Amino acid sequence: MPLLQVKNMTHFFSGLRAVHNYNLVIEPGEIHGLIGPNGAGKTTIFNLITGVYTPTEGEILLEGKSIVGLQPHEIASRGLGRTFQNMRLWRHMTVLEHVKMAHYSKLTYGLVGAFFGTAKRYREEGEIEEHSMELLELLGVAQFADQNVLNLPYGVQRKVEMARALAVKPKILFLDEPTVGMTPEELVGMMEVFRTIHKEFGPAIFLIEHRMKVVMELCEQIQTLNFGEVIAEGTPEQIQRNPKVIEAYLGKEEVE
């Protein structure tokens, strides 16, 4: 059984067909890339699978079970973690607080415990802090734990966002343009982070990425999207040689 399977998914935004007859299979541990020009529908596909929108048509199965119509937090708790194209970090929280926060969806003590500080709560909070620090160390940003995220360089913020997504121990991690706006040095660091995450935690990764170097080096399977439709699918070598891809995408966009 595939980890994630999408069958014939179509989505309309008030008359505009943003995604048409989209299919996807991701096996456990696989790194899958999604590329395509701006406005092709990549983020919409992420939003459909992660429950931000409900598809007009189609099936989405996570470990064989339908997740269509579930709330984003329910889908997250079934093992799907994500980052956003535009980072959603909170202004007045430290790096460590961000990553700790992300654990709370998993907690069992509930609101009453949160209010009255039960023993269980304290035990869990200690574990959460420890796990959060481990994640920050793994991503190489532990030294910023007590700083306010918004004062930190962009590349560091991106890593915090990723640590937050990893907090729930996802079986699959969705990353929407994680290297956008990064300097070349930050980019090299980020590629290393992807490899570390994959090696240490082994989640499948579904990556939207506009930098060809990143996609081609990391992904095993790549889909190219244009006007909401997959126009090519295959290994990095197959994609790079595909004339439709070159015409729709590679010819026009920045190739690094």
- For ligand ADP, which is the closer residue by CB, 39 or 243? 39
Helix (H, G, I), strand (E, B) or coil at 142: helix
**Least distance from Mg ion to the Cβ atom of residue 48, Å:** 13
Q: Which residues pair with 4 in a beta bridge?
A: 26, 62
Distances (CA, A) of 183 to 38, 89, 115, 179, 188: 21, 20, 43, 9, 9
Q: How far is CA 18 from CA 8, 30, 66, 86, 165, in A?
A: 13, 26, 22, 19, 26
Tokens of 144: 């910023």
d(CA 149, CA 159): 11
Work out what residue 70 binds among Mg ion, ligand ADP, none; the CB cut-off runs from 5 to 8 Å by kind: none
Q: How far is the CB of 177 from ligand ADP (least distance, A)?
A: 8
Q: Is 179 in the site for Mg ion (CB under 5 A)?
A: no
**Among residues 40 and 141, whose Cβ is nearest to ligand ADP?**
40
Comparing CB distances to ligand ADP, the nearer of 86 and 151 is 86
By C-beta, is 122 or 154 nearer to Mg ion? 154
Task: Tell me which residues touch ligand ADP (CB under 6 A).
Answer: 13, 16, 18, 36, 38-44
Q: How far is the CB of 227 from ligand ADP (least distance, A)?
A: 9
CB of 44 to ligand ADP, least distance (A): 3
- Choose which of 36, 43, 155, 182 interacts with Mg ion (CB under 5 A): 43
Residue 44 or 224: the one with the smaller Cβ distance to ligand ADP is 44
Chain positions 67 to 96 lying near Mg ion, rule: CB under 5 A, are 85
Token pair 């096996």 is at which residue?
Answer: 27
Contacts of 227 (CB under 8 A, 6+ apart): 20, 40, 41
Rounded to a whole number of angstroms, the minimum distance from the CB of residue 107 to ligand ADP is 31
Which one, 13 or 122, has the nearer CB to ligand ADP? 13
Pinpoint the alpha helices (H) of the chain.
42-49, 72-77, 95-103, 110-116, 119-138, 154-166, 184-201, 212-218, 236-241, 243-245
81 binds, among ligand ADP, Mg ion, none (CB under 5 to 8 A by kind): none
Q: Give, as ranges, the residues between 215 and 234 that touch Mg ion (CB under 5 A).
A: none
Partners of 24 in the β-ladder = 6
Residues that bind Mg ion (CB under 5 A): 42-43, 85
